Amino acid sequence: MSQFLWVEDFGDVDVDATATSVFGGILANQSIPNNQFRLRKLLAEQGVLLKLDFVEALEFIRNPEELLRIDYIILDIWLPVDTTKNTTAETGEYLQTLLQRYDADKQTASEELEKMAGYQLYVELIMEIGFPKEHILFCSNHAEELSSISQAFGEAKLKLLEIPTKQREEDIATVQNWVKRCRENPYSVLRRGILNVLDDIEGNVNCDLTEPFQKEVPVNKDTFLEGLRFMLNSHRIPSEAKRQHLFKALCDYLTKYFDRFSGRDLYRGKYKGNGFEMEVPKAYTIPLYFIRNWVAHNILNNANSAFSEQDVGFLFMQVVKGMFDYSSIERFQLLYRYPVVNDSDLQTCLIDLQNRHYSYSGQCEIFELIRLKGERKRNRNVSTEDFVAHKYASFLFCCVELRTRTKAKSFTDNMAQREGLGYWVNLTYHIDSQGDNLFESLKSIAYHRLKEKNF
């Protein structure tokens, strides 16, 4: 879910009433304390960071690591200015310069700044930091605040933003709808989920790379995590075209270490190297091995293979499970609101996939059939294939096991329709639904995404 910075001076207004006006949708059915410090703790659990005065908020937004923790900002206009707070030397120097612009007398300057504090934070965010203005919402309670902010915007020749209050019902609805849209924005949910998972992995000393990624050419964990952070450093939501470029780049980056595997070994759930062999979970390696192959051969660029936030989130969850044995589904719940798929529906889906997409008399290994979809020499329809759907299909086929139902029997030359002797085996795909909890959740997502794509 997206995270918010809320800068608010409650003044003489009830804390619980103000919190309900702004975040009532998030805090529904919860007991909201009428104490700003207890409220701060409750809001933090919901991804809302509450700052109560100008200096505290200024110090937060001027710290790049802190600002990276939030996606959207709600600003009050009139804020207390506590010049006694400890700040960095750089922020303290900026604050003194700012106060001098208002008045030579420090006390008078502080009183004047208080009336315009929210506006000054806005200017700092937009002009100095480059924070997207569409990610900021002003809220006000008093006409005096609205008058001062209107004057400030006019003097700066800036377009005045819509400034709802926290009192009128129509304004409260506007604020809560804005919060809901921001909180559930798919790109923001994806970006925030990935960044939070990176923090979790980095902060957990027991969350290390799994054995295959420590063998032969070990992955540099810190470099891998920092590279992902760098790619998602901007708060701004890219346009659709730029988003596709970013998603393809993320897929390339996330799967680059999966080229250490061999398809033939992976089909058996194995990883083999120089003098060692180990089991690997097929569901968290085979689809990523395929994506790596397809990215490397530059065949993911057709229109049918466009990625959505759901698709990238799914791939990311597979990667961190495969590389770190870390389950991150709870970070992305807002992207996936699907019912659980039952085995009967899954069986029907797998039969349909096999009949329509992966039926070829010369090959019975389902994963090899999926891999061959990306072979230009074998598949004349490469330019129109939906490789995102093939990724989901390869994941679902990881929940079936190929079993023989009868003993092998010989057949004649006529039955074989080829020279020489041979034999036939009756094979059955057996659905095994006893996977880990993450696998069971991803199984339902894969099933429903294939249905949505009409694959």
Tokens for 445, please give them: 């997502």
Please state, in angstroms and rounded to a whole number, the distance separating the CA atoms of residues 300 and 374. Answer: 9
pLDDT (0 to 100) of residue 127: 87
pLDDT in tens, 119-162: 899 989 998 899 999 999 988 776 556 666 777 777 766 666 67
- What is the CATH topology of the domain spanning 4-184? Rossmann fold (3.40.50)
pLDDT at residue 411 tops 80: no
pTM: 0.89
**pLDDT tops 90 at residue 213:** yes
Q: How confident is the model at residue 168 (pLDDT cuts 50, 70, 90)?
A: confident
Q: Is the pLDDT of residue 48 over 90?
A: yes
Candidate from 396-400, 415-419, 448-452 with smallest mean pLDDT:
415-419
Domain chopping of the chain, boundaries: 4-184, 186-452
Cα distance from N-terminal residue to C-terminal residue, the chain: 29
pLDDT at 404 over 70: no
Per-residue model confidence (pLDDT) at position 182? 95
Q: How confident is the model over 309-348, as pLDDT tens digits?
A: 999 999 999 999 999 999 999 999 999 999 999 988 998 9
Model confidence at 274: pLDDT above 70: yes
Q: Looking at the DSSP assignment, which residues form a beta bridge with residue 73? A: 5, 136
Helix (H) or strand (E) holding 189: helix 186-203
Per-residue model confidence (pLDDT) at position 324: 96
**Smallest Cα–Cα separation from 124: which of 165, 79, 162?**
79
Confidence tier at 396 by pLDDT (50, 70, 90): very high
- Report the pLDDT averaged over residues 291-303: 89
**What CA–CA distance (Å, rounded) separates 109 from 100?**
7
| Residue ranges with strand state E in 128-248 | 136-139
